[in-house]
A and B are shown apart, each in its own frame.
Chain A
Amino acid sequence: MRRLVLAATLTMLLLVTPPQVRASELLVCPECPLRDIQEAIATAPVGATIRVRGGVYAGPVVVDRPLTLYGENWPAIDGGGQGTVLHVAAPDVRVEGFIVRGSGTNHDREDTGILVTAPRAQIVGNQVLDSLFGIQLLNAPDGLVKGNLVVGKPLPEPQRGDGIKLWYSPRAQILNNHVRDSRDVIVWYSDQTLLRGNVVERGRYGLHFMYSSDSLVEQNVLRDNSVGIYLMYGARQIVRNNVFFHNRGPSGYGLAIKETDGVVAEANLMLRNRVGLYIDNSPISEGVINQITGNWIAYNDVGLLISPATRSNLITGNTLLENLEQAAPQGGGTLDHITWAESGRGNFWSDYAGYDADRNGIGDLPYQNRALSSVLTDRSPLLAFFRFSLVASALDLAARAVPLFQPAPRFTDPAPLVQPTPLPELPWSVSPPSRTDAFLSLALLTAAALPFLFALRGSPRFALAQAAKAPRASAPVVLASTAPSTATAACTVTDAAVVQVHGLTKRFGDRLVLDNVSFSVRPGEAVALWGPNGAGKTTILRCLLGRTAYTGTVTVFGHSPLQDGPAVRAQIGYVPQQLPLLDLTVGELLTTVARLRGEPLERAWERLGVFGLQHTWHQPVRTLSGGMQQRLALALATIGDPPLLLLDEPTANLDATAREELLAALRQLREAGRTIIFASHRPDDVWRLATRVLRLEAGRVVAESRAAALPVRHDIHQSLILELDADALQPATHLLTAHGFAVYREDQRLRVLVPPQRKAEPFFLLARLGIQVRDFQLEVTDGW
């Protein structure tokens, strides 16, 4: 009751007292009678207010009596790059609303924007720009520095000064200032400093305490400095609710505590620093502890880095989230001297792999930090190079699997929390990630789809659909009428040789595969390369395709296949012994070849029809039967109407019917004027298709005969191989030829083509002449 009365009386008194007589007020502006601040100060009575209007005023200014300097509309005091700009040399001075800029750069004199050398100064709401030191309190106790913006001089690092510096100035209050691009905000020999709500960025040490104690540091934001806050050689410092963000310069600590006693660091956020919290040999005195509680230490390279000698730290109730290295002893060793839990509560570790069966919020297994790779790195720092390599992962995995290799834990949190602690209250709003980033993921997914769209563009279904839209080709493709295209017709009309081979020699290492082979092929001919396996037939074809190196000269349509491979091959349709077993569908294969040979897809599609293969369009090539494959191969070889066809044992893998069909097709092609060169070891193929036969043996052309010399007997399909004495070979050949047999010499043997009803006749004829058959063999070809 009595208290209430007292309060009421006091209020009455306050209301009744008349407003204080205003101390005299001076006005300074560029157009005013008073144009110079220093002059105004000299004339102002103690306690006066000097109002300074916008404009530029030359420094230096010295305030040598208790005054209030009040800037309206941002008057600027410019030091012109010389010395200290504004010097507050008297107590109880207030400076507010000025731009102070352009100090000198002398470190010995410590040129400063606003230098205070007297007690109880109030420096409020100024902008200190382009100054070596920003605001300096030198032997100036009880100062207030509030709401100022300090931007350092753009100098190289070793020449910079401090943004705010306290020197033997206890009980200062540094509030809500914004300091950037300077060296430190540094507190020297000044106790009981209050630092609250400041933002310090892009400096060296955001807040730096030297030999100072009993400070309260709260709600500051320290970002992009080398070190956020460095506590050095002090005691009883309280650091709470600050944000340490992205301090990654050299050293790169969020909060660093060096040889400091009795630190309380609580409810801070250390995010994305190189090291979140660094403790070096603190506390240094006996019987003192540091308390690190309720902090969020997240996404730093190293969450906690602690020097080996450090002890008496209580680190509990913190959240260690996703730091690349959660906690590490500096330079190896263990962190056993740290107390990781108090009254059964430890810290939250995001990489904790235990469980909480009794649901009391505490993990049932201790959190242990013992990666083998980390231990190795501790032993030899160079090995840190292998972080995030598979070797490191493999080693850790191996060590976990084989307990023998398991290193002793670096530390153990006996009671890890299973849930993160609540995020402390911070002067920093966590901005939500921009949703527009999602567009990036969309872009990436689209990029992934692009190559396949590209593939689709070339897909046969798509291409065929397009071809179907186009008007039908005027000339339907009929096998017999697929005459060589006009471009190559010239070669056909003139009688020049399509193929000329002279002195063709080919070696595989020491082995002579082709030995001085010479022949030429004229348009419209069907030349068989006939001989046993290994005689060099395929090699000749490969030489013609320009697919193997050789000596001698080969010209195909006047070009060397080796030099103009693609151009020569554009004139050649090639049918291999067997189509490669491709995973492609018939359609895809046909489309690809048609594109390579520059034929409209529609025409190629019609070709497929001619060979009766249109229904196989969607079938993979590998699923076709042998006959279909060979027909497909022939269809492919005719794409683009090449004037020359090369076939390598085209019937080798075919059954009777298929073979018959293929040969029929080939004959039609021959009759249509195509030049054909084919390799075969089967006489009946030769018989049916060839107009000329080159007999090859061991890489040489041993015989050449016109097909006319061969008996035109369509029913011949077996050959008798006779082994005779050497001197009997010659007469036997004459004899059998005279009786209408086709005879070829193979070394010391004769190959005789025999029709089914005359198989025994050669024996009879030879016996009549007294030629002894030492041995014989009837070559029965498959299916016949």
Chain B
Amino acid sequence: MTRRQLLVALLVTIPLAACQRKRELSPPEIRYGRDTCAECGMILSDPRFAAAATTADGETVLFDDIGCLLTYRQKHSPSWAAIWVHDLDTQSWLQAENAWYLVSPSIRSPMGYGIAAFAGQDAAQRRQAELGGDLLQWGDLLAHPPERPRQY
């Protein structure tokens, strides 16, 4: 009896697990230390700078640095339905369009782009006072994506 249950459970859970990828647009769950950046290939280790984007049919790409997301977007011009970034302070997901961005060389992001996102303008300004740099909104960031720090 239990054997059969085990078999049934096994047969059912495997396909179910496959179907677990939900169609609705919610920010993905990142497995830090395992998942890799779609642009630079590095392992995502730092939740503060991790970003993600999803196409309408639910395909998700992950980035270790907001700069990587912008570079990827420039290179491939994908049709994304939603883009998310993390709040530097709370490390919670934000809609990229609604966030404030501080771009400063003092911010040590994984790929060195130095872009940090904030939910509110106040928090961003406080950090700006501390670290320097420019405070931007999503539109500005898209219009002038930062260069990769040093090129050879």
- The one of A156, A167, A183, A232 in contact with B40, judged by C-beta atoms closer than 8 angstroms, is A232
A250 touching B45, Cβ below 8 Å: no
Q: How far is the CB of B9 from chain A (nearest CB, A)?
A: 23
Docked pose: A17 CA to B41 CA in angstroms = 60
Interface residue tally for chain B (C-beta within 8 Å): 23
B residues 5-32 touching A (CB-CB < 8 Å)? 32
Nearest residue, chain B, Cβ from A250: B34
A210 within 8 A of B: yes
Docked pose: A183 CA to B32 CA in angstroms = 12
B152 touching A158, Cβ below 8 Å: no
Docked pose: A541 CA to B6 CA in angstroms = 45
Docked pose: A285 CA to B152 CA in angstroms = 8
**Inside 8 A of B40's CB, which chain A residues have their CB?**
232, 258
B46 touching A107, Cβ below 8 Å: yes
Query: In this complex, which of A167, A251, A261 has the most chain B Cβ atoms within 10 angstroms of its Cβ?
Result: A251
**Inside 8 A of A641's CB, which chain B residues have their CB?**
none
B48 touching A107, Cβ below 8 Å: yes
A25 within 8 A of B: no
Docked pose: A244 CA to B79 CA in angstroms = 40
A157 touching B33, Cβ below 8 Å: yes
With known contacts A188-B112, A232-B40, A158–B150 Cβ distance under 8 A: no
A211 within 8 A of B: yes
**Inside 8 A of B148's CB, which chain A residues have their CB?**
233
**Inside 8 A of B48's CB, which chain A residues have their CB?**
107
A160 within 8 A of B: yes
B137 within 8 A of A: no
B45 touching A211, Cβ below 8 Å: no
With known contacts A210-B112, A211-B149, A258-B41, A158–B47 Cβ distance under 8 A: yes
B46 touching A250, Cβ below 8 Å: no
B36 touching A204, Cβ below 8 Å: no
With known contacts A234-B152, A285-B152, A250–B43 Cβ distance under 8 A: yes
**Inside 8 A of A232's CB, which chain B residues have their CB?**
40, 42
Docked pose: A258 CA to B35 CA in angstroms = 18
A189 within 8 A of B: yes
**Inside 8 A of A234's CB, which chain B residues have their CB?**
152
Q: How far is the CB of B94 from chain A (nearest CB, A)?
A: 17
With known contacts A250-B36, A258-B40, A235–B45 Cβ distance under 8 A: no
- The one of A156, A167, A189, A251 in contact with B150, judged by C-beta atoms closer than 8 angstroms, is A189
**Inside 8 A of A189's CB, which chain B residues have their CB?**
112, 149-150
Q: How far is the CB of A109 from chain B (nearest CB, A)?
A: 11
- The one of A167, A204, A210, A261 in contact with B45, judged by C-beta atoms closer than 8 angstroms, is A204
A residues 572-610 touching B (CB-CB < 8 Å)? none
Docked pose: A226 CA to B41 CA in angstroms = 13
Query: In this complex, which of B45, B111, B148 has the most chain A Cβ atoms within 10 angstroms of its Cβ?
Result: B45
Docked pose: A167 CA to B105 CA in angstroms = 12
A280 within 8 A of B: yes
A719 within 8 A of B: no
**Inside 8 A of B45's CB, which chain A residues have their CB?**
157-158, 160, 183, 204
- The one of B33, B41, B108, B112 in contact with A204, judged by C-beta atoms closer than 8 angstroms, is B33
**Inside 8 A of A107's CB, which chain B residues have their CB?**
46, 48
Q: How large is the interface on A (under 10, 10 to 19, 20 to 34, 35 or more residues)?
A: 20 to 34
Docked pose: A280 CA to B88 CA in angstroms = 30
A226 touching B152, Cβ below 8 Å: no
Q: How far is the CB of B130 from chain A (nearest CB, A)?
A: 9
- The one of B33, B88, B150 in contact with A250, judged by C-beta atoms closer than 8 angstroms, is B33
**Inside 8 A of A204's CB, which chain B residues have their CB?**
33, 43, 45
**Inside 8 A of B111's CB, which chain A residues have their CB?**
210
**Inside 8 A of B36's CB, which chain A residues have their CB?**
250-251
Docked pose: A250 CA to B37 CA in angstroms = 12
A226 touching B43, Cβ below 8 Å: yes
Query: In this complex, which of A189, A205, A211 has the most chain B Cβ atoms within 10 angstroms of its Cβ?
Result: A211
Docked pose: A187 CA to B109 CA in angstroms = 14
Query: In this complex, which of B33, B40, B47, B152 has the most chain A Cβ atoms within 10 angstroms of its Cβ?
Result: B152
**Inside 8 A of A167's CB, which chain B residues have their CB?**
108
**Inside 8 A of B151's CB, which chain A residues have their CB?**
233
Q: How far is the CB of B108 from chain A (nearest CB, A)?
A: 7
Q: How far is the CB of A506 from chain B (nearest CB, A)?
A: 35
The contact string, 1 if C-beta is below 8 Å from chain B, for chain A 208-228, is 001101000000000000100
Nearest residue, chain B, Cβ from A213: B152
A746 within 8 A of B: no
Docked pose: A616 CA to B108 CA in angstroms = 92
B112 touching A211, Cβ below 8 Å: yes
Docked pose: A261 CA to B150 CA in angstroms = 13
Docked pose: A183 CA to B110 CA in angstroms = 12
A110 within 8 A of B: yes
Docked pose: A156 CA to B32 CA in angstroms = 9
Nearest residue, chain A, Cβ from B107: A108
The contact string, 1 if C-beta is below 8 Å from chain B, for chain A 299-318, is 00000000000000000000
Q: How far is the CB of A148 from chain B (nearest CB, A)?
A: 22
**Inside 8 A of A156's CB, which chain B residues have their CB?**
32-33
**Inside 8 A of A261's CB, which chain B residues have their CB?**
152
B108 touching A158, Cβ below 8 Å: no
**Inside 8 A of B149's CB, which chain A residues have their CB?**
189, 211
**Inside 8 A of B44's CB, which chain A residues have their CB?**
158
Docked pose: A680 CA to B51 CA in angstroms = 91
Q: How far is the CB of B35 from chain A (nearest CB, A)?
A: 8
The contact string, 1 if C-beta is below 8 Å from chain B, for chain A 178-213, is 000001000011000000000000001100001101
Nearest residue, chain A, Cβ from B47: A158
**Inside 8 A of B35's CB, which chain A residues have their CB?**
250
Docked pose: A103 CA to B36 CA in angstroms = 29
Query: In this complex, which of A110, A188, A250 has the most chain B Cβ atoms within 10 angstroms of its Cβ?
Result: A250
- The one of B32, B41, B42, B152 in contact with A157, judged by C-beta atoms closer than 8 angstroms, is B32
Docked pose: A211 CA to B151 CA in angstroms = 7
Q: How far is the CB of A111 from chain B (nearest CB, A)?
A: 13
The contact string, 1 if C-beta is below 8 Å from chain A, for chain B 77-88, is 000000000001
Docked pose: A258 CA to B41 CA in angstroms = 9
Nearest residue, chain B, Cβ from A256: B41
Nearest residue, chain A, Cβ from B33: A157
The contact string, 1 if C-beta is below 8 Å from chain B, for chain A 122-163, is 000000000000000000000000000000000011101000
Docked pose: A157 CA to B47 CA in angstroms = 11
Docked pose: A157 CA to B48 CA in angstroms = 13
B47 touching A235, Cβ below 8 Å: no
- The one of B32, B41, B42, B88 in contact with A158, judged by C-beta atoms closer than 8 angstroms, is B32
Docked pose: A669 CA to B96 CA in angstroms = 101
A211 touching B33, Cβ below 8 Å: no
**Inside 8 A of B41's CB, which chain A residues have their CB?**
251, 258, 280
Query: In this complex, which of B35, B43, B108 has the most chain A Cβ atoms within 10 angstroms of its Cβ?
Result: B43
CB-defined A-B contacts under 8 Å, sample of 26: A107-B46, A107-B48, A156-B33, A157-B32, A157-B45, A158-B33, A158-B47, A160-B45, A167-B108, A183-B45, A189-B112, A189-B150, A204-B33, A204-B45, A205-B43, A210-B111, A210-B112, A213-B152, A226-B43, A230-B42, A233-B148, A235-B152, A250-B35, A250-B43, A258-B40, A258-B41
The 6 closest A-B pairs by CB, nearest first: A157-B33, A158-B32, A235-B152, A211-B150, A250-B34, A158-B45
Give A contacts to B, CB under 8 Å.
107-108, 110, 156-158, 160, 167, 183, 188-189, 204-205, 210-211, 213, 226, 230, 232-235, 250-251, 258, 261, 280, 285
Excluding A156-B32, A232-B42, 10 further A-B contacts by CB distance (< 8 Å) are A110-B108, A157-B33, A158-B33, A160-B45, A189-B112, A211-B112, A211-B150, A233-B152, A250-B34, A251-B41
